[in-house]
Structure formats: C-alpha cells, structure tokens
Structure 1
Amino acid sequence: MSPFLTRPYRSGPPRAKAARSVSHFKLRHYLALRSLEPLGADRYTARADVTIKGVTRPLAFPVDLRLTDGRAHLTGAFVVDRTQFGIGTTGPWNRLVDRRVTVRVQLQARPA
C-alpha cells in the first residue's frame, strides 16, 4: 500500500480532514435547488435533487436565508446515505467513511 493512501487515515484530525475533502477524492456531485418553502423568519425548507455518481435522489432539508448588503446568504445541511448512490457497498475502503455523510451547503448570491 502506498504511503499516500495510508498517511491520511492513521489517526485523529488528519483523517477527518482528508475524509471531508472533496478535491482529495475527486468526487463529482451536484445539487439542484427546486424550491424554498417558508417556515417563518429566515427559515425555509429547501427541496432539491442531489446527483452523485450519476444517481439522482430528491431531498428536503432546512436552510437559513438572510439578505444583507444586497446579497443572499443561504446555509443548511442534509444527510446522504452513500449506499443509495452506489457508494460504500463493496471493497476494503467502506469502513473509512460512515454510511451516512453530512453535506453542508453555503451559497451566496447577488443581483446580476
């Protein structure tokens, strides 16, 4: 096994940082926001489609949406079960990342 593959997973924080790095694994994932349903104040339910490795699934998750200085700031998070996208179902690497992974979303937008 190469040192590159073993070094990030030996202990503590380096493992956690490597596991969260999208560029480290060169993953391609897409989130298509479909709608925002108001819950009150700055809280909304976001309805979206998430596509990972060519598999698309609908989901709903809570977000905060704030308007400041002419910009929209949206933050939220959702949990993905990797097995629903064909990830983590076979192979020796399955135990390195939990089956359920939290995805945090941050978006800033301004008028064109």
Structure 2
Amino acid sequence: MTRYNELCDYDGAYEPDFGKNMKRMTKIEKAPFYAIVRAPHVLTTLAGLEVNKDYQVLDANDEPIEGLWAVGNCSGNFFGGLYQLMGVAGMGVGRAYLSGRIAAKRICGVAE
C-alpha cells in the first residue's frame, strides 16, 4: 500500500510501475476498505507482462526469463492503455487461444 500511495503522487500521464492512467489513481489512506465485484466491466489488464514474440516474459533488460511465459490478457501491452469496449466481440478470447497455442508450441520445441 505504501508504494501504491507513492505512485499516486507521480507527475506524469501513467504511473511508472504498471502503466496505469494517473486519472484512475486514488490514494488508499483511511480504513475501513471495501471491495466490489466489477465484472463483466473489468475484463483485462491494459499493460500486462512484457513478452517477446514467443510469449516468454521479459526482464528489465528485455531478456527472456527462463521458464516464465504469459499469454492472453496477462501478456504484452496489446491494448496500449486503451481497451475496446464495443464492436470487437471475442477479441480477448481469440488472443488467448492464439497466444496460448504459440507459447505451447514454443515450450514443446515446435516451430510454426
């Protein structure tokens, strides 16, 4: 919580740790805290883990982390900070199927 609150004071459009829009950042300061279910409106991450073309997660030096893969909405930066809310039915599930297939083939040593 301390780091999150520090990020709320960041002077930029997007906070540096996860790329969240600063307009969406609010400090967590006073208990009690509550959570609500937002589904189906929150469907994906907007940043995700950075990956290479084979869906291997990259470290801070853009080098693959051995044995770590990320696919679907948890990978890449596919949406670039803006998520399509209308007119793209199946985009998330289609991406999950395709990226999962590619990663599975790479893990098994199968080339496309």
Please tell me the TM-score bracket, short chain as reference.
under 0.3
TM-score normalised by structure 2 residue count:
0.20
TM-score under structure 1 length normalisation: 0.20
Which protein is richer in strand relative to its size?
1
Q: Which of 1 and 2 has higher RCO (CA within 8 Å, sep 6+)?
A: 2
